[in-house]
Structure 1
């Protein structure tokens, strides 16, 4: 499998030998529940703007949210800012190299700590993401999909499969992850292109159907959609936005930008998109309260804005 990876791996900037540990940490956080094609331009912008943790930590957390773009789950931007601040304060501005040190950073969980330790520092760590779990389930377990949530048995299996050699273990993690991302996909696996098809327990079992149907995450009409629309307005605003403007449209936005929100001139699109959702007032208020509680927005006497 590692030979297949060396010949077929996608050319991604965070895989470049010259990529910094910080660049790899940023990529791992951005790639959580977000496809590569959406991450690439934002990752490049971030690394150009904030090439080190110190550069990001020197700016307010709101800057991280503002430049998060449309990656979704903007709390990840706050976590990266908090991690950068902790790296500057506790690690002399250098991303720590061990799993335990990485895990101690705010917002860094077990997967991210293992992935950064492996891919940035070449350490032997068991990396388990959705793609790896699916490959393991099919190749070894003979099932179409892994369990809905990570189990202790899956973790033990991943540990057992990891090569003892440190360098080989890093290549193995990357190879299995890549195989799951581009060949052993969830809905339409390209089995004929799989380098380990002859050893696949799922193929040998006749490709049994999944024991459950994965539930796709809904979006339209959810609080998450409304939260994202509010954040988009705050990202484009040049100054705080009054609460009533977020909760309802002062004028027909199809005519033009409301005269009482000049700081949104030229950026009427996000405000129009928010009101175009026609979300009930109670949902708007609930979404806004959630953003305030999560630290993704703050309220001043002048109105709402991204965290300062």
Structure 2
């Protein structure tokens, strides 16, 4: 495989394109070999996994760590092991089962996705990229991940972890651009093996390296299987040049926190909850009222048909 690197991506200077291809192959081989021993034993990676289970895991893992996802995923798959099972569930049950994973609109999209899989594909998750992308809540990353991890197909799977691994090992930068760029996409495409099995293995291995070793804040360079060929390490670990463009994600006092408190109250309630009680989740009444209105608009909460000051999860 020849590695064609975009002109605007900073890479170690390699005058021979065959040497560049060799270096990329060496990188892939070392990371995959490390993965064979270091991979976490996760249920959605096991031989008995289903395509639906993989899809559910990928939706749950968006912006949520594995340690929080795994118990919810296990309970979810026991309750709704197929798309048809989830499609027939009540929305209230789905939102309660989502529990505290955060971003509960993902739960709504996942149920919409299940209904689309049943209606369009006879209840079986498709392996075609266009068909996957046409499903509610499935974007470029999720479609690629399902193709790779559920079906073993060649697919360029790029999440935050993979972006960081490629940025450090090949371009010598501490962290990738704040937003995914065309240059990164082209680089990831060039690095992914052409073979189905090898490509799927590389996708899983590079993600795991970023999650466990090549982390954002405290990379374990001494334990990295490609430390001897890492461009960032060779450059002396230069600092992040784009730190001023990155914003930390605050939590305390944010609308996200308040929305989460409202949802928690409604998940635990067996009957509709009075507006006044919901507005007590924070000292800022205006913020609580705004968040409640937003949850209603997002379809996560419904006012009672008989009393507009009573609220519950959608039926």
**TM-score for both structures, normalised by structure 1:** 0.89
Please state how far the C-alpha of 1:197 moved relative to its aligned partner: 1.1
**Is 1:284 paired with 2:314?**
no
**Is 1:75 paired with 2:78?**
no
**CA distance, structure 1, for counterparts of residue 179 and residue 123 of structure 2:** 35
Q: Runs of 5+ in structure 2 lacking a partner?
A: 1-30
**Partner of 1:55: helix, strand, or coil?**
helix
**CA distance, structure 1, for counterparts of residue 191 and residue 101 of structure 2:** 33
**CA distance, structure 2, for counterparts of residue 153 and residue 23 of structure 1:** 32
Please state how far the C-alpha of 1:61 moved relative to its aligned partner: 1.9
**CA distance, structure 2, for counterparts of residue 153 and residue 82 of structure 1:** 33
**TM-score for both structures, normalised by structure 2:** 0.87
Task: Write out the 4+ residue segments of structure 1 that deviate beyond 4 Å after TM superposition.
Answer: none
Please state how far the C-alpha of 1:245 moved relative to its aligned partner: 2.2
**Is 1:169 paired with 2:212?**
no
Aligned twin of 1:305: 312
**CA distance, structure 1, for counterparts of residue 104 and residue 63 of structure 2:** 12
Please state how far the C-alpha of 1:119 moved relative to its aligned partner: 0.5
Please state how far the C-alpha of 1:176 moved relative to its aligned partner: 0.3
Please state how far the C-alpha of 1:244 moved relative to its aligned partner: 2.3
Please state how far the C-alpha of 1:89 moved relative to its aligned partner: 1.0
Please state how far the C-alpha of 1:77 moved relative to its aligned partner: 0.6
**CA distance, structure 2, for counterparts of residue 244 and residue 209 of structure 1:** 49
**CA distance, structure 1, for counterparts of residue 59 and residue 201 of structure 2:** 20
**Residues 34-183 of structure 1: matches in 2 within 5 Å?**
34-183=64-213
Q: Runs of 5+ in structure 1 lacking a partner?
A: 249-273
Aligned twin of 1:19: 49
Deviations 1:117-165 (Å, cap 9, x if unpaired)?
1100111111110000000000101000000010000000000000111
- Kindly indicate whether structure 1 or structure 2 has the higher relative contact order, using CA contacts under 8 Å at least 6 residues apart: 2
Deviations 1:147-197 (Å, cap 9, x if unpaired)?
001000000000000011111000000000000000000011111111111
Query: May I ask how many residue pairs the two structures share in their alignment?
Result: 280
Deviations 1:190-223 (Å, cap 9, x if unpaired)?
1111111111110111110011334221111111
